[in-house]
Amino acid sequence: MEQVRGAIELMRPANAVAAGGLTLLGAFVAGGTAEPTAAAFAVFATLLATGGGNAINDYFDREIDAVNRPDRPIPRGAVTPRGALGFSGLLFVLAVVLTVLLPPLAIAIAVVNLLALIAYTEVFKGLPGVGNGLVGYLTGSTFLYGGAAVGGDLGPVLVLFVLAAGATVAREIVKDVEDIEGDRAEGLNTLPIAIGERNALAVATAFVVFAIVVSPAPYVLGTFGRVYLLVLAPPVFGLAAGMYRSLGDPATGQRWLKASMFAAAVAFVVGRFSAVV
């Protein structure tokens, strides 16, 4: 029983289910309500792949977790390192089986994401800014993957991808600013440590500004109507306010950025719904 519990914990189930939910949103925003089977395959593939990524992340971080997070499954002995590696491999295989049933573009996105998930901890995590960008890409690509899976209109989904990726990169940088003292003590080389807090926050601000500028595109291009703009306005304001708050209070600012990103995703759902009724 303890092994089963440990395996489930390795997946970070709440995180994995949330990623599957983002894929479902991407499928809906793309207008894929006529392809429920493809959408379901994509959602479960995302859930499994995210769980596999979390498991392999724990495998690579097992020595650090033994000191900083001894309650995690591998350090406390619920799952062996070999067992965690095998479990992550099983989850990845199941995700691939579901993905090969989808269109070629969805398969291509899944392959890139799978390689990124595997390489993140061992290759990219310690590179200043690169890890932030990769996390942002992976978050945004869940929407893109859902849209590609159902073969729908990817225009609005591309905008959602840019908005989610930009907001996530900014939030990850702000989190690094918040954790700068602890990261420096552990010898990590995050973006704020490499280029300074002020410059790192300037980079984060640039990503948020770009996301905000791009966000009205579905209305400008005539894909969504005015309802979309009305629902989008508060999240856009929240992104700007969150970034501004991050300059003096990174902990609060990054929470505002995260909440605003998810609120913006709701605006895309409302935009698509209003376009089909």
For residue range 148-165, list pLDDT tens digits in order: 999 878 889 999 999 999
Whether residue 196 lies inside any domain: the answer is yes
Query: Taking the CB of residue 180, how many other CB atoms lie within 10 A of it?
Result: 19
Confidence band for 57, pLDDT divided at 50, 70 and 90: confident
Percent above pLDDT 90 for the chain: 47
What residues make up the domain containing 224? 153-277
Q: Give the pLDDT confidence score for residue 121 in this predicted structure.
A: 64
pLDDT at res. 250:
87
Answer whether residue 277 shows pLDDT above 60: no
pLDDT tens by residue, 100-141:
999 999 999 988 987 887 777 667 766 788 889 988 998 899
For 12-50, letters b (16+ CB in 10 Å) and e give beeebebbbbbbbbbbbbbbbeebeebbebbbbbbbbbb
Q: How confident is the model at residue 33 (pLDDT cuts 50, 70, 90)?
A: low
Over the stretch 262-272, which tens digit does the pLDDT of each residue have?
899 899 989 88
For residue 134, give the nearest of 111, 115, 153, 160 by alpha carbon: 115
Reported as a pLDDT band with limits 50, 70 and 90, residue 276 is: low
Residue 173 sits in a domain of what CATH number?
Answer: 1.20.120
Is the pLDDT higher at 53 or at 42? 42
Task: State the pLDDT confidence band at 70, using cuts at 50, 70 and 90.
Answer: confident
Burial class (CB in 10 A: 0-12, 13-18, 19+), 109: buried
- Would 224 be classed as within a structural domain? yes
CA 254 to each of CA 163, 172, 204, 268: distance values in angstroms, whole numbers, following the listed order: 15, 8, 11, 22
Tokens matching residue 237: 């304001």
Residue 248 pLDDT level (bands cut at 50, 70, 90): confident
Give domain status of residue 183, yes or no: yes
The token pair at 2 is 């303890």
Return d(Cα 60, Cα 269) in angstroms, integer: 37
- Place 273 in a pLDDT band, splitting at 50, 70 and 90: confident
51-60, 114-123, 198-207: lowest mean pLDDT where? 114-123
What pLDDT sits at residue 94?
A: 94
**In-domain check, residue 99:** no
- Residue 44: per-residue pLDDT: 95
Q: How many domains does the chain have?
A: 1
Task: Give helix 250-276 / helix 226-246 axis angle, nearest 10°.
Answer: 170
Question: Is residue 215's pLDDT more than 90?
Answer: yes
Q: Give alpha helix (H) positions in the chain.
A: 2-11, 13-29, 36-60, 62-68, 81-99, 104-119, 130-149, 154-178, 180-185, 191-195, 197-214, 217-220, 226-246, 250-276
Q: Is residue 28 part of a domain?
A: no
Average pLDDT over residues 170-195: 84
